Chains A and B, each alone.
Chain A
């Protein structure tokens, strides 16, 4: 089963290479992400599959907004130079020369990869001890919220930096969109009707994922993205730009600092290690739920800010 899905995976990765029409690239990208999520699930990791499905949807939205610009350029006659006639020598130089680099690297990776024997010491330790150490039923959540909580926090920091970069690079003079302004995008009545029905269920599902992250697949990241998708649905329904983006960025920073404070607090209780296991034994599942809520809200804020920045770019 997994091998059939993986063959489809290779095919989808290969079919994007000769594709020239922009909208098809994005559709193939979406299908590729979906197949990737399915293979992650078959490899025994539903948490990662859920994160991949949720986040590739967000990336697809960004690509569609970007493609809108690119497509308009082509319509303006600025031309897609890929369609221009090129000589055979130039084409050979462009498409064959990279192969000379790729093929030896590929051979190197295949012949000198490490052996199949992987140490399972940490795996056995985590699987046998996470229930007493941290609590909860989901081993993945226990690892990324307790044993490896600093990894998770630095990843959240990367998301903060991404928001700063996007805000900085999209800051032009005519950047500001007045609050309450309606966009001029044509909307399909049937789509809006469907989104109206789906949106509350989506919010409920996101909150469920965040709250039940420690006993079922899901968690802060996946649930946070689902909650952010609710706000995208809200934009689609009311078609209005009234999100207080700067306040949401402040809120996100406060949530992030709170999460850091809670994680670092255990060190000062005399736990002895950087992973505050002694401290965790006192609180067990309440710690997991609290951290999941904080990280979920933080990721939701980040995704909302990213989406609204992109909408603002698109409407200039």
Chain B
């Protein structure tokens, strides 16, 4: 187990930072649209984390006939992350539909007001 900051890979550190920026934005904001945007931000950070596994300077895409395993990016996370991005579209679409339904019912897109109105009714 690696327990030092200096040994960590810089890209993975950046991904964790952006993930928690997105998490902070998700729970500290009162705007529902912003919450949905930050859900997307968190997802992008996770995808970047997976894609940066095994990254070196001068790495190439895994496309071609005579590939040398040491010099190409890992194709397995890429294949899984394509499907994750499409699932992100599904999540965003369902979220926005729920938001539009809420806005129609309660005439507001603010977490505080929505919480108050839904507890009253």
Interface residues of A, Cβ cutoff 8 Å to B: 2-3, 6, 9-10, 13-14, 16-17, 19-20, 22, 25-26, 29, 32-33, 36, 39-40, 43-48, 51-52, 55-56, 58-59, 62-63, 65-67, 69-70, 73, 78, 80-82, 94-95, 98-99, 101-102, 105-106, 109-116, 118, 120, 122-124, 126-128, 130-131, 137-144, 148, 151-152, 155, 158-159, 161-162, 165-166, 169-170, 216-217, 219, 221, 299, 303, 306, 309-310, 313
Contacts and interface: CB of A to CB of B under 8 A. Distances in A.
Given A73-B108, A113-B8, A170-B97, A126 B76 contact: yes
Nearest to A97: B28
Contacts of B73: 43-45
A219 B81 CA distance: 14
A24 to B, nearest CB: 11
A216 B92 CA distance: 29
Contacts of B18: 9-10, 13
Contact of B96 (A62, A106, A113, A155): A62
Interface in B76-110: 76, 78-83, 85-94, 96-101, 103, 107-110
A120 B83 CA distance: 22
A2 B36 CA distance: 27
Interface residues of B, number: 85
A191 B73 CA distance: 40
10 contacts: A10-B18, A17-B24, A47-B78, A52-B47, A113-B2, A139-B72, A148-B76, A151-B80, A162-B91, A166-B97
Contacts of A139: 62-63, 67, 72, 75
B52 to A, nearest CB: 6
B105 to A, nearest CB: 11
A63 B23 contact: no
Contacts of A59: 40, 88-89, 92
A126 B33 CA distance: 41
Query: Majority SS of interface residues in chain B?
Result: helix
B47 A48 contact: yes
A46 B69 CA distance: 18
A140 B83 CA distance: 12
For the complex of A and B, the 10 pairs showing the least CB-CB separation, nearest first, are A44-B73, A162-B90, A155-B83, A139-B62, A143-B79, A144-B79, A139-B75, A115-B2, A124-B69, A45-B78
Contacts of B44: 32-33, 36, 52
B16 A106 contact: yes
A117 to B, nearest CB: 9
A266 to B, nearest CB: 19
Contact of B103 (A73, A127, A141): A73
Contacts of B79: 140-141, 143-144, 148, 151
Contacts of B63: 46, 137-140, 216-217
Contacts of A70: 33, 103, 109
B86 A221 contact: yes
A106 B3 contact: no
B7 interface: yes
Given A51-B86, A95-B28, A123 B8 contact: no
